[in-house]
Structure 1
């Protein structure tokens, strides 16, 4: 990958992810050293639509994912695929609001809707099989570590949109775990090249600390993977 392209990608991901995503910036700067003969390293990012399974009345929530990946070659066309999604939200939207005990606030947002966003660091561990050097089949497990969670109270009125944010991290479990799988397509037949695809995650853990409901995460992720430094290694 040319130096000018690497700089452009660096600026793009800084804009998207913010300064708190130092891991991704470090990955861009040192990607050359992380790529070896048997290891492909790069950045992954894309659109994620997440759901709260078991939460009646909830709708899917659109988010963006950003992280890095490793493809470790085991056999000629078989790889161990892993990495970390350092910017990843799960949650849902379209839910009814709830009372907070403030009469004026509760009356104001009574007709509003609720969106919940949970920040999670996800680590997938998948077996990847390549067909004709282009098509990718992947499947395995995925573990998640929650950082923070927020409820957003939203109200559309004639006077403009109103929003109130409330931290609800303690309402969710610290850990998440489930199954992940999907398919992809490499844009070139090169061993290390960009690829696009989709992954579906189904959580097996009841992530909400609510004795009256069992809620687990699920999400559909459409991704773009970009190897960093692979071109220089091959040359």
Structure 2
């Protein structure tokens, strides 16, 4: 009786192991099949390079240790991109974009209700590795480098909607170069693409002067939502 029970347990363990192996093999096969799909339109029969334009918005902030969203502001993000297929399911995508980052400070007092926007405007170059997890879906990640072109403070009046330029800041007070990491997802519908990504700055933005000293330990952080078209 004990011997039969031992044999039964052994068979159950073996069956369980085979099930695990089968599930693992099925999962691996499915992932491999998904990764083997390339993003291409119905008119394309092979992998082809693409060039395009895209535009969207940044929801940006500055952080020291933890990223908090209470000072998040809206900024512009527009540019061009190129997508070079390496194999089925994998492409390299360099981009060149104008990207407005920074933060905001809201106020509500006897003078009114509004916000001050601290804008750092960059020419940005991300280089992304794009992994296609289906014919219309991808994940992408990579580094970015950026050059600061201008900095300013603007005021938005919530009651009237007016935007006033308060002060143009000296770019010499800030680090001219920024760099960091990018990661996100994209959806491709024929030649159109929709995407969302997160930009995580690794370089402190402040350098000298009053404005630079005030932001010396801060780094850029931004969520980007965009739409693009490829050719």
TM-score in terms of structure 2 length: 0.67
* Residue in structure 2 matched with residue 139 of structure 1 by the alignment: 141
Residue 163 of structure 1: how far off its partner (Å) = 3.5
Is the 2:52–2:228 contact (alpha carbons within 8 Å) kept by the matching residues of 1?
yes
Which of the numbers 148, 151, 161 marks the counterpart of 2:150? 148
Task: Note the residue ranges of structure 2 that are not aligned, 5 or more in a row.
Answer: 1-45
Structure 2 Cα separation of the partners of residues 184 and 56 of structure 1: 25
Q: How does 1:17-32 map to 2 (within 5 A)?
A: none
* Residue in structure 2 matched with residue 52 of structure 1 by the alignment: 62
Structure 2 Cα separation of the partners of residues 81 and 115 of structure 1: 31
Determine helix, strand or coil for the equivalent of 1:170.
Answer: helix
The count of aligned residue pairs is: 176
* Residue in structure 2 matched with residue 205 of structure 1 by the alignment: 203
Which of the numbers 197, 200, 220 marks the counterpart of 2:223? 220
Structure 2 Cα separation of the partners of residues 56 and 128 of structure 1: 28
Which of the numbers 70, 93, 105 marks the counterpart of 2:104? 93
Task: Note the residue ranges of structure 1 that are not aligned, 5 or more in a row.
Answer: 1-35, 97-107, 229-235
Is the 1:129–1:136 contact (alpha carbons within 8 Å) kept by the matching residues of 2?
yes
Residue 215 of structure 1: how far off its partner (Å) = 0.5
Which of the numbers 122, 135, 158 marks the counterpart of 1:120? 122
For residues 100-138 of structure 1, what are the alpha-carbon distances to aligned partners after superposition, in whole Å with 9 as ceiling and x for unaligned? Answer: xxxxxxxx98x9753111110111111001122111110
Determine helix, strand or coil for the equivalent of 1:205.
Answer: coil
* Residue in structure 2 matched with residue 232 of structure 1 by the alignment: none
Residue 38 of structure 1: how far off its partner (Å) = 3.6
Determine helix, strand or coil for the equivalent of 1:74.
Answer: strand
Cα distance change, pair 95–144 in 1 and its aligned pair in 2 (3 A): farther
1:40 equivalenced with 2:38 (yes/no): no
TM-score in terms of structure 1 length: 0.65
Is the 2:143–2:182 contact (alpha carbons within 8 Å) kept by the matching residues of 1?
yes
For residues 143-196 of structure 1, what are the alpha-carbon distances to aligned partners after superposition, in whole Å with 9 as ceiling and x for unaligned? Answer: 1011011012556799x96834211122221000000010111114xxxx2111
Cα distance change, pair 128–164 in 1 and its aligned pair in 2 (3 A): closer
* Residue in structure 1 matched with residue 164 of structure 2 by the alignment: 163
Determine helix, strand or coil for the equivalent of 2:116.
Answer: strand
* Residue in structure 2 matched with residue 68 of structure 1 by the alignment: 80
Is the 1:145–1:174 contact (alpha carbons within 8 Å) kept by the matching residues of 2?
yes
1:84 equivalenced with 2:96 (yes/no): yes
Question: Which contiguous aligned blocks of 4+ residues in structure 1 show a shift greater than 6 angstroms?
Answer: 55-58, 155-158
Which of the numbers 168, 183, 186 marks the counterpart of 1:184? 186
* Residue in structure 2 matched with residue 104 of structure 1 by the alignment: none
